[in-house]
Chain A
Amino acid sequence: MSLRKTPLFERHEAQGARFTEFGGWSMPVEYESITAEHQTVREAAGKFDVSHMGQVRVRGADAEQLLQRLTTNDITALEPGDSHYSMITNEAGVILDDTIVYCLAEEDYLFIPNAGHDEQMTDRWITHRDRWDLKATVDNVTEAFAMVAVQGPEAISLVNREASESVKGLSRFEMREMAVAGVDCRVARTGYTGEDGVEILLPTEHAPALWDDLDCEPIGLGARDTLRTEMGYLLSGQDFHPEDEPRNPYEAGVGFTVQLDTDFVGRDALERVDAEGVEERFIGVMLIDRGIPRHGYEVLEPGGESIGHLTSGTMSPTLGEPIGLGYIDVDHTEPDTLVHVEIRDEPKKAKIRAPPFLPGK
């Protein structure tokens, strides 16, 4: 199967990117250096092509009800121009995907499944709409719209210079329609880096012109991953996966997205989890010994007994310390608890850290 390409593929090629497959897309993993790109975002601003993220539009008299019953958060809390983070769970309360849901207007919503999940989630919405006999249209608009993230302490002022309206006036998770670099866009104050910034949604054909007008360095998926790992943000398919890493929102540390007073698929299972508590939860580790924590590594208590495993890990470019994220027995998740991470059969000393790893974030 050939890989999907974003409208900015040629731009990345021309800028000397190395490519990787991600969620069925051919995406830039780095241009020059992951570490340098990471620092650019923490210290100034960078632009990311995130057009591989899914975009599914849900419209109609029952659009609100359909989203309410397929996501964990309370959709009725959203006014036009608002968005929120939410989970898509199955009947067992296991996370299928995490998403941002935008309310564009009355009876008009857009949600963002992760890369490669757009078709599956569109099917899920259509199947349930038909089962529940709801009036809503569900359109997979992933390939019709691009998405560009601009992130970093200078991101807002940088986009503001190109925008027809004040980007500074946007509150966190707010989205507004405006022209950026002369192109009609939707601009939302959201992101996946821990820095201030925006995500810009626009028709595919205008993406190259916008990209060229954004006066900052391009950032690849490699730095996107180290930036989100420092913040402890979940990566769909890696930190949770319905088959390989089945987790509910409480285990995954995103219980704040679950509104049990709404009715959604997985609600009853999650009500039980909420009452009974979880055995493992998503937490950070920082290595004391030398080594790099990685996906799949076992975590042991100092006596040698397994107490969990890591799902993500890297050398933190900001801290210069090896950091990991994973699911660990709740009895060992107090910050500063000494644990071991097993790297190539060697136990390496580490301490528990509650993410974000960066102070003040």
Chain B
Amino acid sequence: MSYEIPDDRHYLETHEWALVEDGSATIGISDFAQDELGDIVFVELPGEGDAVAQGEDFGVIESIKAISDIYAPLSGTVTAVNDGLESAPELVNDDPYGDGWLIQVDLENPDEVDDLLDADGYRAQIE
């Protein structure tokens, strides 16, 4: 089985991705992670204005068979939350890099990106 791993993002070993643009980042979970979880039925996320810290959990994703904490690839303040997941958590399965994004963060320290894996590094980890 081969998983989609877009080259334009950075990855955490725990299968979250960050797409960095102009001092802010969109955060989600990888194709591999959504496939491992199976049918996602519940997503719990922080609110706008909440702080998240690199490597620390900021929410929970539950599938029918598993509960998984989600970890922040980068530190910062939450500026947007994907409210659509409340009624349609399956978007994370269907489109993990697009409509299934989780939060947007105003970055505290953009240099933290250096601590993350690039697409090749993440591919090597899961294969």
Q: 23 pairs across A/B with beta carbons < 8 Å?
A: A18-B38, A30-B38, A33-B38, A33-B39, A34-B38, A34-B39, A34-B64, A35-B39, A222-B38, A222-B64, A226-B64, A290-B42, A291-B42, A291-B44, A292-B41, A292-B62, A294-B67, A314-B64, A315-B42, A315-B62, A315-B64, A317-B64, A344-B60
> Which residues on A sit within 8 Å (CB–CB) of B64?
34-35, 222, 226, 314-315, 317
Give the contacts of A8-47 with B (CB-CB under 8 A): 18, 29-30, 33-35
> Which residues on A sit within 8 Å (CB–CB) of B39?
33-35
> Which residues on B sit within 8 Å (CB–CB) of A33?
38-39
Judge if B86 is at the interface, Cβ distance under 8 Å: yes
Tell me, in angstroms, the Cα distance from A226 to B86 when the chains sit together.
21
Number of interface residues of B (CB under 8 A): 11
Tell me, in angstroms, the Cα distance from A29 to B41 when the chains sit together.
17
Give the contacts of B11-52 with A (CB-CB under 8 A): 38-39, 41-42, 44
Give chain B nearest CB distance to A174 CB in angstroms: 33
Query: Which residue in chain B gives the minimum CB-CB distance to A34?
Result: B64
Query: Which residue in chain B gives the minimum CB-CB distance to A221?
Result: B65
0/1 interface trace, chain B 61-89, chain A, CB 8 Å (1 if under): 01011010000000000000000001000
Tell me, in angstroms, the Cα distance from A317 to B42 when the chains sit together.
13
Query: Which residue in chain B gives the minimum CB-CB distance to A291?
Result: B42
Secondary structure type dominating chain B contacts: strand
Given contacts A29-B65, A33-B38, A34-B39, 7 further A-B contacts (CB under 8 A): A33-B39, A35-B39, A222-B65, A226-B64, A292-B41, A315-B41, A315-B62
> Which residues on A sit within 8 Å (CB–CB) of B86?
290
Give chain A nearest CB distance to B82 CB in angstroms: 15
Secondary structure type dominating chain A contacts: mixed
Tell me, in angstroms, the Cα distance from A291 to B43 when the chains sit together.
8
Tell me, in angstroms, the Cα distance from A294 to B42 when the chains sit together.
13
> Which residues on A sit within 8 Å (CB–CB) of B65?
29-30, 34, 222
Tell me, in angstroms, the Cα distance from A294 to B65 when the chains sit together.
10
Tell me, in angstroms, the Cα distance from A315 to B40 when the chains sit together.
10
> Which residues on A sit within 8 Å (CB–CB) of B44?
290-291
0/1 interface trace, chain A 309-336, chain B, CB 8 Å (1 if under): 0000011010000100000000000000
Chain A residues with CB under 8 Å of chain B are: 18, 29-30, 33-35, 222, 226, 290-292, 294, 314-315, 317, 322, 344
Tell me, in angstroms, the Cα distance from A220 to B86 when the chains sit together.
27
Tell me, in angstroms, the Cα distance from A30 to B65 when the chains sit together.
10
Tell me, in angstroms, the Cα distance from A222 to B39 when the chains sit together.
11
Tell me, in angstroms, the Cα distance from A29 to B39 when the chains sit together.
12
> Which residues on B sit within 8 Å (CB–CB) of A29?
65
Tell me, in angstroms, the Cα distance from A222 to B41 when the chains sit together.
14
Give chain A nearest CB distance to B56 CB in angstroms: 16
Tell me, in angstroms, the Cα distance from A317 to B41 when the chains sit together.
9
Query: Which residue in chain B gives the minimum CB-CB distance to A36?
Result: B39
> Which residues on B sit within 8 Å (CB–CB) of A322?
42
> Which residues on B sit within 8 Å (CB–CB) of A35?
39, 64
Query: Which residue in chain B gives the minimum CB-CB distance to A222?
Result: B65
> Which residues on B sit within 8 Å (CB–CB) of A317?
64
> Which residues on A sit within 8 Å (CB–CB) of B62?
292, 315
Among B41, B44, B67, the one with the most A-chain Cβ atoms within 10 Å of its Cβ is B41
Give chain A nearest CB distance to B71 CB in angstroms: 16
Tell me, in angstroms, the Cα distance from A18 to B63 when the chains sit together.
15
> Which residues on B sit within 8 Å (CB–CB) of A290?
42, 44, 86
Query: Which residue in chain A gives the minimum CB-CB distance to B39?
Result: A35
Tell me, in angstroms, the Cα distance from A315 to B38 when the chains sit together.
13
Query: Which residue in chain A gives the minimum CB-CB distance to B1?
Result: A16
Query: Which residue in chain B gives the minimum CB-CB distance to A315?
Result: B41
Give chain A nearest CB distance to B124 CB in angstroms: 23
Tell me, in angstroms, the Cα distance from A344 to B42 when the chains sit together.
14
Give chain A nearest CB distance to B105 CB in angstroms: 22
Give chain A nearest CB distance to B39 CB in angstroms: 5
> Which residues on A sit within 8 Å (CB–CB) of B41?
292, 315
> Which residues on B sit within 8 Å (CB–CB) of A344?
60
